[in-house]
Structure 1
Amino acid sequence: MSTDVERAAHAFCPRCHPDPKPGEVLTALCGAKHPYFGRRDRPVNSCPACVTLAAASTYACGHPGG
């Protein structure tokens, strides 16, 4: 995975991670694991893989997406 993607804002399943705490390690939709630093409404740099996966009707974990 490139450093650009690692520095990007990732998306995650809200059902797998309903109430993440700051610093908690989450698994993003693209599979990257990273600490949670809060939600960003308009990230400057979004993970392109997460953007694509977030639009899916079902996430890889089996929860409904969208």
Structure 2
Amino acid sequence: MSTAVERAAHAYCPRCHPDPQPGEVLTALCGARHPYWGRRDRPVHTCPACQALASANVYACGHPGG
């Protein structure tokens, strides 16, 4: 995985991770696993894979997307 994606803001399924706590390792929509450090309203960098997957009708985990 490139460092650009490593530093990118990832999107997460809100049903799989309804109330993430700081430091909890989450699986992003793109499959990357990272500790959670809070939601960013306007991230400087956005993971392009997560950005594309976030608009899907159903996420890879099987939960409704959108």
Could you tell me the TM-score, scaled by structure 1's length? 0.98
Displacement of 1:50 after TM fit? 0.2
CA RMSD of aligned residues (A): 0.4
Equivalence for 1:10: 10
Structure 2, gaps ≥5 residues long: none
C-alpha distance in 2, partners of 1:44/1:28? 17
- Equivalent residue, structure 2, for 1:56: 56
SS in 2 for 1:52: helix
Tell me the distance in 1 between the aligned counterparts of 2:53 and 2:2. 18
2:38 alignment partner in structure 1: 38
Runs of 4 or more consecutive aligned structure 1 residues displaced over 3 Å after TM superposition: none
What are the Cα deviations for residues 33-59 of structure 1, in whole angstroms up to 9, with x where unaligned?
A: 000000011100000000000000100
Counterpart for residue 22 of structure 1 = 22
- Equivalent pairs counted in the alignment come to 66
> Alignment identity in percent?
82
Matched letter for residue 7 of structure 2 = R
Tell me the CA shift for residue 22 of structure 1: 0.2
